[in-house]
């Protein structure tokens, strides 16, 4: 029997809270728990506190997870719920992510009141994004556009767009759909045009590595196809030593007994890009991602990604 409330650590943004409550509902249903047996603990992260500058200036990945992971290690919470694209490729000692939920829409959403698609934006239009990956891919396709740093949660970014701060922006389709904001999407960027961020659309549940009981309880929530895809993508990112300081994109998909992988590295201004596709066995997910990262590094040269710093 559960002797205490399960405490879920999360950021306080509307999307993070949606994700935490979603996990709480899944746990309650899986174990027939009273919803009151699960508590949501909001933890403010460094990434939440820095709102006026690009996160890459402050260390990139980890800024949305560090304080939550500290609370997990201290025993203040039992599990942590993350957007997997925010999670560093090397976890702190003593933590693991045994559970990945089924992945949502991986695409980026184009949002604008002035054009139906990126191609239809007028020359010199201003595009707002906090993502170097999106910036690089936009400038690769449309070097005539101006791209500016555009921080804030989903609601803040949509409000800035309404206020005319920018002419267009991009947000993850998964987040918009989860928040019920699908009507704001002007059009979707197909992955063949804009490759998504590593682990985009995936939610992970982090636990203490020695908490076998919680790991066992989370097993029914794990989606193996998503977990394999995320494993390959994160291995790719790790091989590149990537963070949000560097424009890196990847997508792995499971098709029966085949894992298909696409990866890309770019200069921040989109002036140069290297990409590849590969296929292998799902059991080789780590090798597929790692080999892809090594190959692209070789193609780009040792200093290719340093311009993102």
The CATH number of whichever domain residue 278 belongs to comes to 3.30.160.40
* Distance in angstroms (rounded) separating the CA atoms of residues 75 and 123: 53
What CATH number should be reported for the domain holding residue 93?
3.40.190.10
DSSP 175: H
What is the SS3 assignment for 260?
A: strand
66 shares a domain with 213 = yes
- On whether residue 254 sits in a domain, the answer given is yes
SS3 41: strand
Q: Is 86 a catalytic residue?
A: yes
From the list 78, 86, 167, 211, the catalytic residue is 86
Which DSSP category does 101 fall into?
P
Q: CB within 8 A of 95, min separation 6: which ones?
A: 69, 72, 73, 206, 207, 208, 209
**E strand or H helix at 135:** helix 132-141
Q: Is residue 249 part of a domain?
A: yes
2 and 73 inside one domain: yes
218 in the same domain as 95:
yes
Tell me the per-residue pLDDT of 178-237, one tens digit each, with 9 for 90 and over. 999 999 999 999 999 999 999 999 999 999 999 999 999 999 999 999 999 999 999 999
As a whole number, the mean pLDDT across the chain is 91
| pTM reported for the whole predicted model | 0.91
Contact predicate 182/235, CB 8 Å: no
More confident residue, 55 or 211: 211
In the block, residue with structure tokens 């559970």: 99
């Amino acid at each position: 029997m559960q002797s205490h409330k399960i405490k879920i650590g999360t950021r306080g943004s509307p999307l993070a809270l949606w994700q935490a409550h979603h996990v709480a509902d899944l746990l309650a249903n899986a174990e027939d728990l009273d919803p009151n047996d699960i508590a949501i603990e909001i933890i403010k992260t460094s990434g939440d506190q820095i709102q006026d500058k690009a996160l890459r200036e402050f260390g990139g990945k980890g800024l949305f997870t560090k304080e939550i992971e500290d609370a997990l290690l201290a025993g203040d919470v039992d599990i942590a719920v993350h957007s997997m694209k925010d999670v560093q490729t090397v976890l702190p000692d003593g933590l693991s992510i045994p559970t990945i939920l089924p992945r949502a829409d991986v695409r980026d959403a184009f949002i604008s009141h002035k054009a139906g698609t990126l191609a239809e934006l007028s020359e010199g239009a201003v595009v707002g994004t906090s993502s170097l990956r999106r910036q690089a891919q936009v400038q690769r396709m449309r070097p005539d556009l101006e791209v500016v740093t555009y921080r804030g949660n989903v609601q803040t970014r949509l409000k800035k767009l309404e206020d005319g701060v920018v002419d267009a922006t991009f947000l993850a389709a998964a987040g918009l759909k989860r928040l019920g904001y699908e009507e704001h999407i002007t059009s979707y960027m197909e992955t063949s045009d804009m490759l998504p961020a590593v682990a985009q659309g995936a939610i992970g549940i982090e636990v203490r590595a020695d908490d076998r009981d919680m790991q066992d309880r989370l097993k029914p929530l794990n989606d193996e196809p998503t977990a394999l895809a995320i494993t390959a993508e994160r291995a790719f990112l790790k091989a590149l030593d990537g963070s949000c300081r560097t424009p890196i994109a990847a997508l792995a998909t499971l098709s029966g007994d085949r894992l298909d992988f696409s990866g890309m590295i770019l200069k921040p201004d989109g002036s140069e890009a290297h990409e590849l596709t590969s296929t292998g066995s799902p059991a080789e997910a780590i090798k597929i991602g790692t080999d892809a990262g090594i190959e692209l590094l070789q193609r780009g040269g040792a200093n290719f990604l340093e311009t993102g710093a």
